[in-house]
Each structure stands twice: as C-alpha cells, then as structure tokens.
Amino acid sequence: MVSHTHYHLGHHHKFERDDRKYVADLETGDIIQVNDVEWEVLSRYQAQTRYQIVEELKQEYKLTAIFDGIERLERLGREGSILRPRRSRDHDHRDGVPPTKVEAVKPTTTNQKPKVLVPFHFTREKSALDYFTGLNRYQLLTNLSEFAELETLAFSQAEKQDLQTFDSVQVRNLHGTDKGTLMMPWYAMDNYDGILLLSQFLTDDLLYYRVPDVPVVHCIDGVQQLRHALPKILLTLSAFQRSIDTLVVKASWMKEWLAELGVSTENVRVIPDGIDVVAPMGDKTLAKQHTAAIFEKPMFTKQPIVGLISGFEPNRGAAWISEFARANRHLAIFVYDTMLVGAGSPNPYHLPENVVIFSADDEETRSVLPIFFQALDLVCFPAMPGTPLSIVLEAMAYGAACVVMTKYGMPTEVAEAGVAVKSDWDNFGNFHVPMAELSRTIHQWLQPSKRHGLRERFTDQTVQRHTRKDAARELVKVFEESLQRKTDDGRGGVTSPLRAGSPSPYPPIFCRRYEPDTGTLRSCTYRLGINRYDSLKTALASVLAEKHTPAEVESVFKHFQREGSTPTCEAIRAGNGFPPNRVEINLAGVEHQQKGEKA
C-alpha cells in the first residue's frame, strides 16, 4: 500500500447505475456521484502515489481534469467523506489511537545509493558569482556522485547541452513533455530520496519546498557578491523549511550569524568546501621571490607578508584595507578579494603601496594562487558572511598561522592555529576592529616562537579534514539524517493533523510567473499538489482568512487601498495584486472555503 501524504482511502464501495458512477462511504453512509476521472483516481489511490496516478491517467484525460478530480476528492476528505485525513503520531497517541504505520525510507537503487535530484537552474548564476564558487560546485557534484545517484531534468536538447560540463550527473530528458504544462518540481515527486539545491537566488527553489515527503538540502555559499542579499535569502529559506529539510552553510560563523538573526539552527549543518593543496614549490624564500616578480613589488622579498582574505563590502572594504595598510607600513599585504580589482588592473581605490590585490578568475590565475599562499607568513581574515573559508584553509594549509577578526569567538575550523581579535560588523557592510590591538597581535604572531611546529601540525590536519571527498560524504549524511527525520515524523515534515475544516494541504506559494506572450513577469500564486495558478489577491485573502476574521482581513485590504498608502511588505508591493476599490471580495465565503464548507 502506498502512503499518501495527507489522506488515505476509507472503507468504500463503488457502483454504477443508469450510466452514472457512484461511491458509497461505508463508514459515514454518504453516497457521492463521481465522474470518470474521479472513478479512475479512486481505483488507484490505495496503490499509487499522486505522481503515478497523474502520469498514468494523462495519457487518456486532460491534466486539468485529473487535478480537478484529485482536488475534489481531497476536498471531500476534508469534509469527512471517502478519504480520511492522516493523523500525526503525536495526535494519534494523545487520542489513544495506534499511530499510522510508516515504512522506513530505503534507497531506491540496488547499490543502496540514495537517488538525489539536482535542479540545474543554478548554472544560470555563473556570471554573477566568483570562479571558486563554480569550481567548488563542480567538485562537490563530481565527488558526490560516488556516494549518491545524481539526476537532473532537461526539457529540451538545448538544456541538455548546457549540462554537459557536469558529466557526473545523469540527465533525465523530458523533451516529450510540454514544459508549460507541468513545472519542474512536479517531477521531483517521482521516486527521489532527496533534492539538492545549489542556487543562491531562489528564482525557482521555493517551489521544491512544497514537494511532499522529499527532503530538501539547500547549500548556501555565502559569497561576497551576495552579501547584501544574504539576510533576505536566509530568512526566506528558514520560513519555507520543513522538519525534513536542511540548510547547509560553509562556515561556522554563518551558523552563528543565523542564530543572531533569530533563525532556528536545529536543521542547519556546517560543511566547509573541500580544498586543493598542491605540493610546495620549495622553500618560502623562493615563493616570495616569485610573488615579488609577478606583482613587480620588491618589498615582498624583504618584508613579512600578511595574507588578508577579504569578505568586505567593496567600498567600505577598500577604506578599511587602506587604514590597515597605513597602520602597518612595515608589512607587505596580499589581499584576496573577488570584488576588488585583480592583478594587473588599474587600481581605482588608490590603496597604499604595500598592498596588492588578487582573485582567481579562471584556471590560469587559479594555478598561480598556491605560489602566493606559500609566500605568506600569516593569514588574517574577518569571520563574517562573504569571507570564503575554503580560501582561508587553503592559504593556511601551507603553514601560515591566522589572526581572526571575529565577534563570535575563535572559529572551530581554525581553533588550533591562531588567535582571535574581537571585532564587530553589521548587515550594512560596516566593520569595526581595534586597529592598535590587531596590529599588535599580528606583530606577536609573526614571531617564529609563536609559529613553531604549527606548519607540520595544522597543515596535516587541514589537508586530512577538508578533502573534497569528505565534504561529499558529509552531505550524504545530511540526506540520511533528513530521511530519518521523515520516518520519525511520520508524515514528511507536516506536524499538525489534518481534520475536517482545516485548510488545504497545498497552500499557495507566492511567486512570479513568466508570460512568454508578453515577455513580462506577473505576480501570482501556485499550488503544487493540484498544479494550479491562482490570482495574488484571492490567495492573499485565503491565507489571511486562516487565522483572522473576515472583518480583520477586510481592514487589511482597505488599508492598502487607501490613497497614498504604501505597503511595507516588498512581496506585496511588487505584486500589484490588491483588488481595486471597486472590486469586492466575499471574505466570509473565503473563510467558509478554508473550512471546507459551502460559501
């Protein structure tokens, strides 16, 4: 028997009379007339998943008719007929009812690898992010394919061509399917053990959080380019997360920051990107000579070199770097920053002469980065969103200690290899650290006595702990934990029981829809379980009516209809979806609809 997320089929009897089809509920005595599609759905409901039902029936019936049939049957279930709402384990236990039996989740393939869907819309972000982020994603998927069966979806041959770079991921070709009929998340309901999301822009991601019973693991890179948008991204994801979903961040300070924002970190995991460490080219003196020659800065052979791994907002960061360099003119400062000007380019920030800036933008510049890292005597970085931990670890893997500017204490990833200096920063890019204390600490840690034995001890630990393969293994463990939470929870993260009068199990997802005929984006809502788009105003009234009286909802709409009133919610403001003054909404009817009653 297949377990549907929200309902199971009650005791019933189907019969035909006078060329009409009926189903009798043997528990309530209700007799309900059904159409051909609903008849077929009921025949399959006990043995097939929703996805299987739709895929089988769409060969004979229109999709709209199939989804209408499913929606009507589940609406009847909310009213107490034919279908029975599934009850959560806690609710069953309180009522003295044996809990619903839920089978343990098993991998779907014979080699016991979990089958994971990897939506590939993240590839569109390539030009907006830095080179290392793309490289880390490629390496993650390549190594992850050893422990999981990875699959993505393509509607056309052109899309399939775009995915050729990631040869470790199988492409499920949907070229025979009308792309505008069913959305990508619909196909995520087909026998996947999990969904791995790598996108940072949330253009299509939020729909996947509404796929029933399939855990979502979302990796947030915390890249410098998106630092200004990270609070909104993370708060949005937190709001959409279910108990079976997991948010993966790349550094311990990201998790600390989430807690500071008031986000629950129960289902947040820290998995740093793996690093690549090449064999040293020789002694540090030779590396310093090469660095001096590349940048045409003789000072790099004469003065101690401090590597500053930056995660700053560009303009404020340039100002702080200038202040830091002027306070430490006896140091040669190598700055790794993906947003400031790279090597060989004009410097519009007019940084002091003892500063050089570099970032790896392609394979060629990536190949020389180990030379610079081997030349460093000390690594300094702010433990804040935007600072790439993988770059920090790679720089330190060649034997440099670190001075960490942090407001959360010493990061666990480098706890044995340096010292922390108390700093402060906010989400607007402002950064503050006692410059005198920082300079004094750097001077102390440049002394050989402080770094004695560090190279051998921490270098070996870093290389062993942060391999690409280890990062992939940790991610597989996250999927295993998510699947276990799904089994323990009993209903895929839906903790409250459904009963007659409760809202629809497929709430509206507020999103934007591209209109190819006009080339515009239209704000609307989408309900994944029934593949239906609704107008923004109807959905908003429906959602508000779940917890508010019609009078309260009416007052909200009147507030936004007042001349000169400006909505405070960006999503509402962008939608332009409020009804004009001349349009009336039957809010009482909406409330009845939420309760499954006839308005």
Q: 348-384: per-residue pLDDT in tens?
A: 567 899 999 999 999 999 999 999 999 999 999 999 9
Q: Which amino acid is at 106?
A: K
Q: Find the mean pLDDT for residues 562-575.
A: 41
Least confidently predicted of 77-81, 148-152, 384-388: 77-81
pLDDT at position 116 = 95
φ, ψ for residue 196, nearest 5 deg: -105, 115
Alpha-helix residue ranges (DSSP H) falling in 284-433 = 284-295, 314-327, 363-375, 389-396
Q: What pLDDT does residue 160 have?
A: 56
- Tokens 């051998």 correspond to 456
Q: What is residue 271's predicted lDDT score, i.e. its pLDDT?
A: 97
Angle value at C-alpha 248, between 244 and 250, nearest 5 degrees: 170
Whether residue 516 is predicted with pLDDT greater than 70 in this model: the reply is no
Nearest to 399 by CA among 470, 493, 305, 510: 305
On the question of pLDDT at 561 being above 60, the answer is yes
Helix, strand and coil in the chain, % to nearest 5: 40, 20, 40
Torsions phi, psi of 598, nearest 5? -85, 125
Q: Determine the distance from the C-alpha atom of residue 361 to the mean position of all C-alpha atoms in its chain, rounded to a whole number.
A: 25
Confidence band, pLDDT 50/70/90 cuts, at residue 87: low
The answer to whether 421 and 404 have CB atoms below 8 angstroms apart is yes
Give me the chain's average pLDDT, please: 80
- End-to-end CA gap in the chain: 36
Q: Considering the entire predicted model, what is its pTM? A: 0.75
Packing angle of the helix pair 587-594, 550-561 (nearest 10 deg): 130
pLDDT at 102 over 90: no
Q: Please say if the pLDDT value at position 185 is more than 50.
A: yes
- With a pLDDT cut of 70, the percent of the chain lying above it is 75
Each residue's pLDDT tens digit, 201-244: 877 788 898 888 899 999 999 899 888 888 888 888 888 888 99
What lies within 8 Å, CB to CB, of 276 at 6+ separation is 394, 468
3-state secondary structure 37-94: HHHHHHHHHCCCCHHHHHHHHCCCCCHHHHHHHHHHHHHHHHCCCCEEECCCHHHHHH
Instruction: Tell the residue number behind the tokens 């969904």, with chain if given.
Output: 195
- Confidence band (pLDDT; 50, 70, 90) for 297? very high
Q: For position 393, what pLDDT does the model report?
A: 94
What integer is the mean pLDDT of 316-333? 95
**Torsions phi, psi of 368, nearest 5?**
-95, -10
Can you list the domains of the chain with their CATH numbers? Answer: 1-86 (3.90.930.60), 115-274+469-488 (3.40.50.2000), 284-464 (3.40.50.2000), 503-599 (no CATH)
Element (DSSP H or E) covering residue 108:
none
**For range 314-329, the mean pLDDT:** 93
Grade residue 258 by pLDDT with cuts at 50, 70 and 90: very high
Q: How far is CA 322 from CA 113, 159, 296, 486, in A?
A: 51, 46, 20, 51
